[in-house]
Structures are given as structure tokens and as C-alpha cells.
Chains A and B, each alone.
Chain A
Amino acid sequence: MSKRKVNDAPLPVGTCISEVQDILRKRLCHQQLPDTPEGVQAQHKHLLELLKRTAIHGESNSVLIVGPRGSGKTMLLKCVLRDLLEEKEVERNLLQVHLNGLLQTDDRIALQEMTRQLHLENVVGDKVFGSFAENLSFLLEALKKGDRSSSRPVLFVLDEFDLFAHHKNQTLLYNLFDVSQSAQAPVAVVGVTCRLDVLELLEKRVKSRFSHRQIHLLSNPTFSQYLERVQTQLSLQDDFPDKTFAQDWNASVKTLCEDKSVEDALQRHYNSSKNFRSNHMLLMLCLSRVSVANPAIKPADLLEASKMCLIDAQANMLHGLSILELCLIIAMKHLNDVYEGEPFNLQMVHNEFKKFLQRKSNSMYNFEQPVIMKAFEHLQQLEMIRPVDSSSVKTQREYQLMRLMLDNTQVMEALQKYPQCPTDIKQWAMSAYG
């Protein structure tokens, strides 16, 4: 696909579009690394220095990268590693072990994975180790070079660091930090986590061995920076095969970002979350609308995408309920109003519903109790209502206490949107008390 044309002959629009999709999708979906990590240059420098000291001078270190989800922690780490490996000596020497708290759920699995990543399976063989520490020190010993004077530096990356703290006795963390403290072998331990209180999770003996070096990624871009980021995310680089198309595209992106309505929509997103991920999701939705017939992102596309991102899912689900189920929800809402959020059971809801039917005196919605029970159970299946205590198996279903998991405003909004909602039901919902 990426044929570089030497001459600047314009490519057909279809090829250009698919090229654009290629490039941007890599950026938005595959988390392709940017050339320079923007906004976190200081942290980048700090981490790079730190790891260099391990990789080149053989110093041991431990550090935590802390920041909320989607703030670019992994991106920062990967950028640093990429830059680090550019040096020949480092590339030849440095060993990397990547562990993830989601995957290595206990220390035994983690140790196996470590052995595997250090390519030491055949060295370990069938040896039986007395303790975890013995095993780890054996691994590190095995890494020592032939002259036995210096050993190769090892970089341990622990993703989702907080999950490792839940392992039994925190053996892995204790041993890694212990090695990094004592001068056994040059190791660098880099933990990546989203929990600010991660140090509280560590045991005292583990905590005291940690260097307490933390890199915080609490980037707080201003709105103009946010806008700029959106623009750079969408813009094409100079090496795009068709120069004129790239220029047109970039110009269209620029006008997009200057549009007033787009700015409002982005402001709304900015106010709810500023991280890269949610931004990527929005832009991905925009990008999916780009085709040959629609070769640029128009303000309408972005508005539509932003609407999709911000839509209330629960309201969507309410839209698909049957009239009977909706009536039950309204009855629950009234019960909630009257009894100030006390839990209710099916009988009460049914009673409330019957009161409404008596007033209306039309038998349109006169259903048998079992039919209503089925509707009630469907609501429970959709988790719109939830039993107060799940353990009470012994109570009959109609007397099990439930709570409504919806907001009053959600119910009212759904009612407005409900297709062909009968007027009397609407009025019933509006009325203050049942």
C-alpha cells in the first residue's frame, strides 16, 4: 500500500483515503509512538537518565510511574526505551523483562515468565529451589558474563504495578527491590500504575527497600493545548505520498478545529476528560466516517461522533423496554419518591400500578400477575433493579426487596423519547405522587 512515488503525480482519491486511514488508524488504534512525547519532556528526560545509569554504569534503581488511566504512562516508557536502545552498547547489553499484573497473577507464574524472557529455561532445567529469593538470585547469577566481573543490566517493567502488591507476601516485589538495594546485579525496576496511593499497598519491609522515586504524569493541558493536540493527531506528516492531498487534508483539519460548533463539542469533551484515550475514541469515530464520498472530516461528523460518545447508555436501554416494563419503572419511581428511596418489592410495585389502572378505568394494561412477574424479572436481568441482599434465596420472588438503579431524570428523559408513549402514562409519570 505504501508505495512511495518519486514524482508528485496526484494519486487517485481512493488510494489517498485508504492511505490516510492506514496512518491515522495506526495512530489512534494501535497507539503508535509519537516522535517526541509531548507535554512530558521533563519526565522523559528524567526517566531516560535514570535508565541510562543502569544500562551503562550498572547502577541499580527503582522507580514508579504514576498517572491516571490514559495519561500516557506506557507511551512515555516505550518512548524512553526506544531512545535508550538507540545506543549500541545498551542494545547489546540490556536485558528486558516485561511483566503485567493482569497476566502474571501470582509470583510463580511471574517467575516462570521471567525465566522465559531471560532465555534461561534450559539453564534452570529441572532444578528445585528452596525459596523464591534463591531462584531469583540464581537467575541473576546466570546472567553474569563470562569474565564474572560484571553482569548484564536487567530492566524489569511491571505494568499494573498495584496488582503485584496483592500477591502473597509480596514476595516478587520484595525480592526485586531487595536486589535493587543491595549490589548484587544492576537491575532497574520500573513500575507503572494508575493508583496514587500505591505506596500504601506495600508492606513495610517492601516499602523500605523501594527508592521512593516517583514520576507523576498528572498532565493538565489547557483547552488550547487540547485543541492543538486534536489537530496534530489528525494532521498528516510531510512524507505522505501525495503532497497536494496532504495539504488539502491538513487545511481541512485546520478549518475543522476552528469551527465554532466543533470547538463547543470539544470543550464539552475537555470538561469531562482530558486524557489521550477518550480523545482517540472520539477521533476514531470521526475517522470511520471518512470515505471516498466524504474525503474530509466535516464539523457534522465530529458533532455526530461526540454525540455518540456522550450518549447515556441507560437511556438507550430504557428506549427499548415494553410499555409494561416502562409502567413498572414509573411505579418504582413513584415508590422511591414516596418512601424516600426505601427498597420495594414486586407486590408494592404492582399495587402502585393497579392504583393507576383503577384511576384510568381502561383495561388496556390489565395483565396477570405472572406476566408482570416476567417483566419484573426482565428488568432485573437488565440490572435496572437490583436485589438489596442477594443471599435471601428463601424469600418468595414477589417479596424480594429491590432497589431501582436509575435516576429520576433518566426515567423522565427516556419517557420523552419513548416512541408512541400513551399520554396517560406520561401524565402519570409527571404527577408528583402516584
Chain B
Amino acid sequence: MSALLQQPGYEEERLQTVSKKLPCREVQAGMLLSLMGQPHQYSYPSIFIYGHQSSGKSHVLNVLLKELELPHATVSFVECVSVALLFEQVLLSFFGCDAASLLPRSPSLSDFVRIYRQQSSQSPAKQTRYIVMEKAELLRDSDANLLPALLRLQELVEDNVTVILLSEIVWDRFRPNTGCFEPLLLHFPDYSKGELQHILAQDRNPSYSDEFYSAYINILLGVFYSVCRDLRELRHLAALNFSKFCEPLAEGKVKETDTHKLWRNIEPHLKKAMQTVYLREVSSLQWEQMQQMEEKENGAVRGLSAHTHVELPYYSKFLLIAAYLASFNPARTDKRFFVKHHGKIKKTNFLKKNEKTSNHLLGPKPFPLDRLLAIFYSVVDSRVAPTASIFSQISSLVTLQLLTQVSHGDQIDAPKYKCAVSMDFICAISRTVNFEIIKYLYDFL
């Protein structure tokens, strides 16, 4: 494997360590290295590397540049709230802090290039200098000149410098209107399932055998691979759930080799992790606490989803239900649902579903305040007076972002709202007040 990394001008030993640190990325590292050439040789002015999250883009570059001790500046664009930070970082790592302090207070690109030129004429590059930009997609949001200028920086500063941009978005979405210097495109493919297995298996706990851990990884990938291929995420999940996997082993119920039983034990657990940990609904600490809780009070099924815990006043619940009904039912059907003696309405006429897609696909529609209150009075079981407390509850629902106000603020006499909660949420709410909301929804007739 390590035979792939060969390039004159670098020490053999260093290349060996590099290739050891980059499992499953030998091809990409070799490609990059051959593009970089020997330290003193020119490299292509700008290289654009794209690939999915955690496909090893930054890792490969960092290892290469650090281990081979090439002059480089690594800047993540998330950190650069202003371009000044970017310039400072680059000057600092190439020429030391004296150069960085030469920058004026709010430097323009022109200042940066001038200082760079001035410095590089004092200490010309003996080796190619590399500027690595992570999260390059954010470059598009900053100054329009920055991206084209960086791409042709070699020409602008007349120094042996190469700009390497890393992003997970393809180059086609970057190109400015009037075009620019086209960088060399390089793709980092995603890890295959086998490679993921190989890399994840390296984090093995030393107290367990190799086979045991890779069996665990296998099960984990079986559950998560179809949803997530992000190495970092998988690694996080693997670390969190391993103790649970080992549990039956510690209790002495099964042997290490009995994979089937282990699988039976862990699978529902992992499925649950997918609904909580993967979605970041709970933090990893909470997850661990929950695991311990479960051991104590077995069987107590708790809703993990955060939104089932919302506590609302009694009338607010009905207001929310009324808002949901108003948002998802056509106004013409209100008579059928809420008027007691609504006379005869032809069923065929009523149920003509000429709207092909149901309201639950298109999303909530705005409704006026009057309609909300009318529905509210008919769904709530006791008589309520339209007091200020009801109206204030509506506005607090807006503050909680369960309702959104769609009309402009200046129309205070006829405000319009939209319901902003999901079906599951409203079903949970209506269950607490014994209201069967499904019966009142036009889509589910």
C-alpha cells in the first residue's frame, strides 16, 4: 500500500509515516503529492478539492503538509468573520508576526497583496507555499473579488504559492458570472462500506478482541449505513453505544462469538439511537444517563422527542387545535364540521376532491383571526367569553412560534395567522384534552 507514495525530493521515511496516517486515502494522497511535485517546483496556481463531509480532505492535506514540513497556512473560512483575519493568518504563517502587523486596520485585498509581495521579495520562496482554505463555499458570500483573486494569487503576488480550496459543494456552483481562473479540480470519493469498516475497526478498545469489535462495527453499519455515511458521525455513534453492546458479555450471558444473540440485544437499542442521538435531540451525556435510567426502571417507555413535553394552558391547547383546523381545512367545509344543524349538504358535492394534492402536502394556509375564534368557540366544550386573556394567549402562541403571523404588523384590525406545528404534535396535544382531531380534518375523511 505504502508503495503508492513516492515522490523524489522528500525523505522516504517521512512518506512512510504519511501513508501510515492516511488509511484508505493512498490514491488521493499520491495524486496530490504528484501534483505538488518536488518542494521547489511550481505547482498549479489553484487546486479545488471537493468531496463529502469527512471524506478526509482536510486530514490528508494537513498530514501531508505537516509531515513533509512544507510552508503552509491553513485557514478555515468559518473562522474568518472578516477578510482581515484571513490575511493576517496567511501572513503570520509565512512571514511571521512582523509582517502580519503591517496590515492596516481594515485591510483591502490590495493591501494584502502589496505586503505579501514586499515580504516575499525579501524572503523568496524556496519551496512552494500552500494556502489551504477549508469551507471554501463561504467564500462566495464574502467580497465578490476575493474568490477570483485567490484563484490567481500566484500571478498577483508573483511568488511560488498554491491555493488549495476545500469544499463539499461542486465547483460549478462557485463560478462567478464573468468567469475566473479555473482551478484544477480534484475529487475525494466517499469511503466505501469496507473502508469505513476498516477505519472504524481501528478505534478498538484494547480489552476486547479484534473480531468482537469488528462484529460490533458490522452491526452498527448495518443499521446506520443506509442513512448516514459520515465517518465522524458513525464514529461518535460507535463510541456511545459500545458499552451497551458489551453488557450481556459482562453479565456472562453470552460468549464473545455468539454474534446473533449480541445482535438481538443491540439492534433495538441502535434503532432508538437513530431517533435521538443521530438527530441531536439529546446530548451524548443525556443519552448515557438515559441508558442507566433504563436499567433501573425497565419498561417505562418515555417519549424521547422533545416536542411532546410542551406544556400549555387549557385554552391555549384549544386555540392551537382551532388554528390547526383553520390552517388545514378549506373554509367552505367549516359549516359541515362545526355547525350543528347545517341542513343538508350533498355528500358527493362535499367530498369532491378536485384539489389533487391534499392540504397536508401543501402546508398550512393563512386564516383570519375571526375564523380562528369561531372555530375555537365551537370546539371548546365550555362557554368562554372573548376576554383579553384569550387574545393574549394567541400572541403568546405566536411568541412560542407555534403560530406565525403572516400579515404585516400594520394591519392590527384583521391579523392573519398560520399554524406552524406538525401533525404528530397536534395529535399529542388533542389527546391530552380528549379531542379527536382526525374526525375534524378534511384530508382524513
Contacts and interface: CB of A to CB of B under 8 A. Distances in A.
User: Does more than half of chain B's interface fall in helix, strand or loop, or is it mixed?
Assistant: loop
B189 A319 contact: yes
Size band of the interface chain B makes with A: 35 or more
B237 to A, nearest CB: 13
B149 interface: yes
A370 B306 CA distance: 12
Given A113-B110, A383-B169, A18 B145 contact: no
A370 to B, nearest CB: 5
Main secondary structure of the interface of A (DSSP, over half): helix
B50 A317 contact: yes
A95 interface: no
Contacts of B211: none
A116 B113 CA distance: 13
Given A29-B42, A370-B279, A383-B169, A348 B114 contact: no
B327 to A, nearest CB: 11
Contacts of B225: 322-323
Contacts of B279: 370-371, 374
Interface stretch (A135-143, A216-224, A231-239, A391-399): A391-399
B363 A345 contact: yes
Contact of A320 (B43, B51, B148): B51
A371 B275 contact: yes
Contact of A288 (B6, B35, B360, B418): B35
A37 to B, nearest CB: 17
B55 interface: yes
Nearest to B113: A103
Interface stretch (B71-79, B226-234, B387-395): B226-234
A103 B149 contact: yes
Given A102-B149, A374-B278, A396-B363, A25 B172 contact: no
Interface string B144-178: 01001100101110001000000011111100001
B37 interface: yes
A375 interface: yes
Nearest to A29: B42
A120 interface: no
B290 interface: no
Nearest to B43: A29
Nearest to A277: B182
A308 B354 CA distance: 51
A396 B187 contact: no
Interface string B302-327: 00010000000000000000000000
A116 B115 CA distance: 12
A381 to B, nearest CB: 8
Given A102-B149, A316-B189, A26 B114 contact: no
A264 to B, nearest CB: 22
B110 A22 contact: no
B110 A324 contact: no
B180 A69 contact: yes
Contacts of A289: 34
Interface in B16-39: 31, 34-35, 37-38
A320 B170 contact: no
B309 to A, nearest CB: 15
A418 B361 CA distance: 30
A220 to B, nearest CB: 18
Nearest to B32: A288
Contacts of B278: 371, 374
A21 B38 contact: yes
A277 B55 CA distance: 29
A332 B371 CA distance: 35
B404 A322 contact: no
B45 interface: yes
Contact of B179 (A69, A293, A313, A370): A69
Contacts of A341: none
A367 interface: yes
Contact of B185 (A14, A313, A394): A313
Contacts of A102: 109, 145, 148-149, 152, 156
A395 B364 CA distance: 9
Contacts of A116: 114
A252 to B, nearest CB: 19
A285 B9 CA distance: 19
B434 to A, nearest CB: 25
Given A18-B9, A313-B171, A322 B44 contact: no
A207 B279 CA distance: 60
Interface in B252-292: 274-275, 278-279, 281
Contacts of B168: 317, 381-382
Contacts of B35: 284-285, 288
A214 B44 CA distance: 31
Query: Which of B50, B170, B190, B424 neighbours the largest number of chain A CB atoms within 10 Å of its CB?
Result: B170
A262 to B, nearest CB: 20
Interface string A348-370: 10010000000000001101111
A40 interface: no
A194 B145 CA distance: 15
B205 interface: no
Contact of A382 (B109, B113, B169, B228): B169
B275 A368 contact: yes
Nearest to B52: A320
A364 B31 CA distance: 39
Nearest to A1: B40
Nearest to B6: A291
A242 interface: no
A74 B155 CA distance: 10
A375 B35 CA distance: 35
A74 B156 CA distance: 12
A18 B361 CA distance: 64
A199 B113 CA distance: 29
Interface string A2-15: 00000000000010
A17 B43 CA distance: 16
A72 B250 CA distance: 72
A395 B179 contact: no
Contacts of B173: 383
Given A194-B179, A322-B226, A311 B42 contact: no
Nearest to B143: A105
A319 B185 CA distance: 17
Contact of A103 (B38, B50, B110, B179): B110
A183 interface: no
A321 B55 CA distance: 12
30 contacts: A21-B37, A25-B42, A28-B44, A30-B160, A69-B180, A101-B145, A112-B110, A195-B178, A288-B34, A288-B35, A289-B34, A291-B7, A314-B170, A314-B172, A316-B50, A317-B52, A320-B52, A320-B229, A345-B361, A347-B360, A348-B361, A364-B226, A369-B424, A382-B52, A382-B169, A383-B170, A383-B173, A394-B420, A399-B363, A419-B192
Given A314-B172, A319-B189, 11 more contacts: A30-B154, A69-B182, A100-B156, A102-B152, A105-B145, A112-B110, A322-B229, A323-B227, A347-B361, A348-B361, A369-B424
Q: A-B pairs with the 10 shortest C-beta distances?
A: A399-B363, A320-B190, A313-B170, A323-B226, A288-B34, A320-B52, A103-B110, A102-B149, A29-B42, A25-B42
Interface of B: 6-9, 31, 34-35, 37-38, 40-45, 50-52, 55, 108-110, 113-114, 143, 145, 148-149, 152, 154-156, 160, 168-173, 178-182, 184-185, 187, 189-190, 192-193, 225-229, 274-275, 278-279, 281, 305, 357, 360-364, 404, 406, 418, 420, 422, 424
